[in-house]
A and B are shown apart, each in its own frame.
Chain A
Amino acid sequence: MNAMNMRDEPLVYELSREGRIGCSLPRSDVPSKEIPLEIARSELDLPELDELTVVRHFTRLSQKNFSIDTEFYPLGSCTMKYNPKANEVVASNPGWKNLHPLVGEEYAQGAIELLWRLQEGLREVGGFAAASLQPAAGAHGELSGVLMIHAALKERGETKRKKMLIPDSAHGTNPASCTMAGFTTQTIPSGLDGGVDMEALRAALDDTIAGIMITNPNTLGLFEKNIEDICRLVHEAGGFVYGDGANMNALTGVFKPGRSGIDVMHFNLHKTFSTPHGGGGPGAGMVAANETLAPYLPGPIAVKADSVYRLEMPAKSIGRVKAFHGNFGVLVRAYCYLLMTGSDGLRQVAENAVLNANYLKSLLEKVYPVPYKRHCMHEFVAKGAIADTVHTLDIAKRLIDYGFHPPTIYFPLIVQEALMIEPTETESKETLDLFAEAMKRIAEEASKNPELLHDAPHIAPVARLDEVMAARYPILCYRG
């Protein structure tokens, strides 16, 4: 961050001057038609800006962000890997951008073929029978998956199965998705090794369970060693197993979740398959299933018959989860990445993601305690409890001064003062070394000069912001 982006940037309304316009249309060549007075709008309070002001404004705003393109961004469970520029080149092709979703299938063969190829590729990576690219995000894939379980149970007449088991290390979206699908949830504690406590699991299994939602590797970055037993026990109890693929970056080309007994699973294409996070989205949350649940996938999905590609609803589909065909522009990027990585590259992705995480863990664990003494997968969780008066939040904010985005903090909830660190495979050794060096210096500062941490960040467009005031007296719009 340089001095330029420390400057206040006014809001678009404050930059507005009456009569300005940033883009004009050709003069209308048809007669003007009156709008009935009783429903005509009298005023529209939007800003008025010239084009250059718009350009400078949003360019300056962009410079107030950390991003993968500018900084190391080791957010745990977010897989902030490099987003290849070739993805952007292909996604901006007018053959996609100007393709209407309701043109006849004969006019969109290239698009449906791309959907089919990506679907088949991801199905292979996961080891499943079929996949749907409809879900727009990971949580949307989860909702689709638990609705599929709901539909399958309903068809079997097992309407009293209303309870979904969720490990205590799970992402918040898991229990929230269950609620949206009409299930209740029961938390399963983690055992001493960081995996699902098998005794607690056995005790929870009865004829009211719909299934379990399992993240593997879990949010501690640990592989669920008992995955086969977990799936077997849940199946024996009459339930289904949902796989949360948020952490699939550890496993591509190494392990197929579908082979371990998982019935239905989503992948976050904006994590594992390198599509950009866009400051919050759009993502894509492909959902894939085994033979049993495949007929319930959300649709339509792409099918190939002879050399013609069509869109079809699966036989017992839960229906549409959004309009049209998924976040198509994101899917184009993911497909380009799949081509560039290929079978060999996807394995290298997992191997080097795991290598980087273990290497960084080895550099940090003497200073920042790591609660589970195992090899981690693509990420690890350490504790920020390094001095009495210093908290994880202080370490996170001080990292900003060193030019690094903070890791995910205070998650998973089962580790106090958690720092959840995921470097991804695209970071170099020297970046990891520099980050570790900064973390060690912060630990020294924590004991010698804790105020430096409490007041951090010192080099950012704003200092720590008053979030309590923001929530108590919400200002959610410009108030003139």
Chain B
Amino acid sequence: MSFVPHTDPERAAMLKGIGVSSIEDLFSDIPEHLRIEGLALPGAVSEIEAIDEVETLADRNVQTKDMDWFLGAGAYYGYIPAVVPALAGRGEFLTAYTPYQPEVSQGTLQAIFEYQSMTAKLLGMSVVNASHYDGATALAEAVLMAWKAKEGRNRIFLPKDLHPEYSQVIATYCTSFDIEFIRYEGDPAQAPIDERTAAIIIAYPGFSGEMYPISKASEKAHEKGALCIVQADPLMCAIFKSPGEQGADIVTAEGQCLGNPLNFGGPYLGMMGTTDALIRRMPGRIVGQTKDKFGKRGFVLTLSTREQHIRREKAVSNICSNQGLSMLQTCIYLATLGKNGLQEVAKQSYDKAHYAAQLIDIIPGYHVVPKLFFREFLVETPDSATKIVEALNKKSIMPGLALSHYYPERANELLICVTEMNTKAQIEKLASALKEAVK
């Protein structure tokens, strides 16, 4: 099935109109010896068979609902209201292109403007762009943006307590440039930044869950002439002070937790916001409000002179396709939950995580590491965390991420995440299973 509507007579009529005798004639520019006979792939199957084959594969995976779920580490199991996929899945949104023709793209454009408005408030920034591929690439682009903005300075301070995959993506993106990365530990306000520093990155919270207030660190960065980049948990910002309120110049975030499913790691939502001063250095599409000739309000893609289709090699980034539909999901999610709903999701996650931490910290041999955290916390375990995970899996509990997944030497550490999806009973079951696992 190639979804081609033509019948043979129609095809013949079209060839006649063109003035050739066969389709093969249209390919005459391809050197004959390079044309192939066919592909070594199976033949076409029907829709029934295709769906059946893909669903058979899907059935072989373990889903969040199959276990009591406490694994996060950059991808979060949260509730997605029914209206989110129902509306975002409408064909008029799903099958539209990038809104380069504004008169027939007002739906997409207004939704982006609403997303920009809501997330700018959430993160405390002047402007948020219409998305990056994910939180990791957004942060990597923020590093390049800051490095270019602070010409002549080549140091970037990076927290040791940052998601390891984010560190890896930054390394890939910056591989060709003369940037010196300095890893710092603990409170960002204590990082030894200097006049050669372009920016300090602050994880809010860190990979271990630990968080520090940002204000002092951002003040210090500004005194030294450096920029302050904050990698934030956007849900946390519903109940904790926003990065913008604490002096951040650039904020990046992974927006998956705001209405996008886990999907084995993608598509997710890279969020980036900045200040008025840096708007014209920010990559990514931006929508602005304007008027038509009758004075009617409308929306357009704007500040395009930053972008690759206008500026080519001088563009601030090469980004073109973004995560538009994930952004739309988040837009609908935020509109549906609204002020009270989002704060409720964040507060329940916070309360439940602290309830869990309290129960776990009193189990002999277990120690909760972070002092101030939101919904995820690192735990030192009395035995190999991998073994504990295996033991709990047998009881249909996914207790979190064994840190040895990223750091083989950190065998006795487990990263536990609690969201609004977890019940009190599940949390208590987790705590008693952790206790039993090391008896």
- The residue in chain A whose Cβ has the minimal distance to the Cβ of B133 is A136
Sorted from nearest, which 10 A-B pairs have the closest CB atoms? A324-B265, A182-B176, A95-B58, A280-B324, A278-B325, A69-B91, A101-B265, A110-B60, A342-B44, A282-B267
B290-324 with Cβ < 8 A to chain A: 290-294, 296-300, 302-305, 307-315, 317-324
A470 is contacted by which of B4, B101, B288, B345 (Cβ under 8 Å)? Answer: B288
Per the bound structure, the CA–CA distance linking A260 and B73 in Å amounts to: 43
From known contacts A176-B318, A255-B30, infer whether A471 and B36 are also in contact, taking CB-CB under 8 Å.
Answer: no
Chain B's closest residue to A351 (CB) is B23
- Knowing that A86-B50, A323-B74, A375-B29 are A-B contacts, what are 18 other residue pairs whose CB atoms are under 8 Å apart, sorted by A's residue number? A46-B339, A59-B87, A62-B92, A172-B308, A222-B29, A253-B39, A276-B95, A278-B324, A280-B97, A280-B130, A336-B51, A341-B2, A342-B41, A343-B39, A346-B39, A465-B291, A469-B290, A474-B302
Name B105's closest neighbour in chain A (CB-CB).
A65
The reply to whether the CB of B168 lies closer than 8 angstroms to some CB of chain A is: yes
Task: Tell me if A389 is interfacial: C-beta within 8 Å of chain B.
Answer: no
Known interface pairs A65-B96, A100-B75; A470-B302 also in contact (CB < 8 Å): yes
**B107 partner, pick from A41, A61, A124, beta carbons under 8 A:** A61
Q: Nearest Cβ in chain A — how far from B42, in angstroms?
A: 6
Q: List chain A residues, Cβ under 8 A from B137.
A: 136, 140, 321-322
Q: Check B286–A476 contact: CB distance below 8 A.
A: yes
Note all chain B residues with C-beta closer than 8 A to A100.
Answer: 64, 69, 71, 75, 77, 262, 264, 398
- A169 proximity list for chain B (CB < 8 A): none
Closest to B85 in A: A92
Contact with B along A40-51 (1 / 0, CB 8 A): 110011111101
B172 at the interface (CB under 8 A from A): yes
Q: B412 contacts which chain A residues (CB < 8 A)?
A: none
In Å, the complex CA distance between A222 and B30 comes to: 10
Beta-carbon contact of A476 and B95 below 8 Å:
no
Let me know if B30 and A254 touch, CB within 8 A.
yes
Residue A363 at the chain B interface, CB threshold 8 Å: yes
State whether the Cβ of B343 lies closer than 8 Å to any Cβ in chain A.
Answer: yes
B373 to chain A, nearest CB (A): 11
With A40-B239, A97-B261 in contact, is A336–B54 under 8 Å at CB?
yes
Contacts of A9 in B (CB 8 A): 110
B302 and A23 form a contact (CB under 8 A): no
Q: Which of A72-80, A199-207, A235-243, A439-447 participates in binding chain B? A: A72-80
**In the complex, chain A residues 455-474 whose Cβ is within 8 Å of any chain B Cβ:** 457, 460-467, 469-471, 474
- B169 with A359: CB separation less than 8 A: no
A396 and B105 alpha carbons, distance in the complex (Å): 14
Least CB separation from B7: chain A residue: A429
Indicate which residue in B13, B163, B322 contacts A281 across the interface (CB closer than 8 Å): B322
A-chain residues with CB within 8 Å of residue B314 when the two chains form the complex = 179
| B45 contacts partner chain A, Cβ-Cβ < 8 Å | yes
Identity of the chain A residue whose Cβ is nearest the Cβ of B337 in the assembled complex: A23
Q: How far is the CA of A469 from the CA of B364 in the complex (A)?
A: 65
Provide a sorted-by-A list of 24 A–B residue pairs whose CB atoms are within 8 angstroms.
A22-B81, A33-B351, A41-B240, A45-B121, A45-B339, A54-B83, A58-B83, A67-B94, A67-B96, A83-B94, A86-B51, A92-B85, A99-B263, A102-B75, A124-B39, A182-B176, A254-B36, A321-B137, A325-B265, A343-B41, A355-B14, A375-B28, A466-B293, A476-B286
Residues of A321-370 contacting chain B, CB below 8 A:
321-330, 332, 335-336, 338-349, 351-352, 354-356, 358-359, 361-363
CB closest residue in chain A, given B43: A342
Interface residue B108 (Cβ < 8 Å from any Cβ of A): yes
Chain A contacts for B110, CB-based, 8 A: 9, 11, 61, 64
CA distance A32 to B337 in the complex (A): 20
Contact residue among A40, A136, A139 (Cβ-Cβ distance under 8 Å from B318):
A139
A178 CA / B311 CA spacing, docked (Å): 13
Of the candidates A21, A111, A138, which one forms a contact with B264 in the assembled complex, judged by CB atoms under 8 Å apart? A111
Question: Does residue B114 face the partner (Cβ distance < 8 Å to A)?
Answer: yes
Q: Is the CB of B93 within 8 A of A327?
A: no
- Bits for B333-344, please: 1 = Cβ < 8 Å to A, else 0: 011111111111
Task: State which of A101, A270, A359 has its C-beta within 8 Å of the C-beta of B17.
Answer: A359
* Any A CB within 8 A of the CB of B185: no
| CB-CB under 8 A for A93 and B134, given A45-B121, A46-B338, A465-B291 | no
Which residues on A sit within 8 Å (CB–CB) of B339? 44-48
Q: Please state if B61 and A327 are interface contacts (CB–CB under 8 Å).
A: no
Q: How far is the CA of A21 from the CA of B319 in the complex (A)?
A: 36
- Residues on the A chain within 8 Å of B36, using CB: 253-256, 259
Task: State which of B30, B116, B372 has its C-beta within 8 Å of the C-beta of A36.
Answer: B372
Decide if B5 touches A426 in the complex (CB within 8 Å). yes
Chain B residues whose C-beta falls within 8 Å of the C-beta of A150 in the assembled complex: 175-176
Complex CA distance for A18 and B419, rounded to whole angstroms: 26
In the assembly, what is the distance between CA of A69 and CA of B107, in Å?
15
Q: How far is the CB of A16 from chain B (nearest CB, A)?
A: 8
Interchain CA distance A278-B105 in the complex, whole Å: 12
* Contact B308–A400 (Cβ < 8 Å): no
* Residue-wise interface mask of A (82-93) relative to B, using a CB-CB cutoff of 8 A (1 in contact, 0 not): 111010111011
Count of A-B contacts judged by CB separation below 8 Å: 689
A142 on the B face (CB < 8 A): yes
Interface size class, chain A:
35 or more
Query: Cβ of B175: which chain A residues have Cβ within 8 Å of it?
Result: 147, 150-151, 182, 318-319
A323 touches B10 (CB 8 A): no
B116 in contact with A426 (CB, 8 Å): no
CB–CB B350/A33 < 8 A: yes
Q: Which residues of B contact A60 (CB under 8 A)?
A: 107
B contact residues, total (Cβ < 8 Å): 200
How far, in whole Å, are A429 and B310 apart by their CA atoms in the complex?
A: 35
Q: Does B146 contact A (CB under 8 A)?
A: no
Across the interface, which residues of B come within 8 angstroms of A98, CB to CB?
63-65, 77, 261-262
Partner of A323, one of B79, B166, B423: B166
CA distance A352 to B319 in the complex (A): 31
* Complex CA–CA separation, A69 to B120 (angstroms): 32
Contact of A103 with B by CB under 8 A: yes
Give the complex CA separation of A78 and B347 in angstroms. 43
With a cutoff of 8 Å between Cβ atoms, the chain A residues found around residue B3 in the complex are 81-82, 84, 274, 425-426
Question: Complex formed: what's the CA distance from A133 to B74 in Å?
Answer: 20
Closest to A429 in B: B10
Q: In this complex, what residue of A is CB-closest to B139?
A: A323
- Nearest to B353 among chain A residues (CB) is A33
Of B61, B111, B335, chain A has the most CB atoms within 10 Å of the CB of B61
Distance in angstroms from B262 CB to nearest chain A CB is: 5
* B351 neighbours in A (Cβ, 8 Å): 28, 30-33
Per-residue CB contact flags for chain B residues 176-198 toward chain A (1 = under 8 Å, else 0) read 11000000000000000000000
Does chain B have a CB within 8 A of A315?
no
Query: Given the complex of chains A and B, what is the CA–CA distance between A71 and B353 in angstroms?
Result: 49
Determine which of A68, A172, A325, A428 lies in contact with B5 in the assembled complex, contact meaning CB atoms within 8 Å.
A428
Cα distance A253–B30 in the bound complex, in angstroms: 13
The answer to whether B321 and A276 have CB atoms under 8 Å apart is no
Instruction: For A140, list chain B residues within 8 Å (CB).
Output: 133, 137
Any B CB within 8 A of the CB of A406: yes
Binary CB contact string for chain A from 250 to 262 against chain B (1 if under 8 A, 0 otherwise): 0011111001100
A35 near B108: Cβ-Cβ < 8 Å: no
Judge if B241 is at the interface, Cβ distance under 8 Å: yes
On chain A, the residues within 8 Å of B424 by CB distance are: 29-30
A30-B427 CB under 8 A given contacts A25-B345, A323-B135: yes
Closest to B29 in A: A223
The answer to whether A320 has its CB under 8 Å from any CB of chain B is yes
Say if the beta carbon of B225 comes within 8 Å of chain A: no
Nearest CB of chain B from residue A236's CB, rounded to whole Å: 19
A185 at the A/B interface (Cβ < 8 Å)? yes
Contact A101 to B75, CB < 8 A, known contacts A78-B97, A138-B320, A345-B2? yes
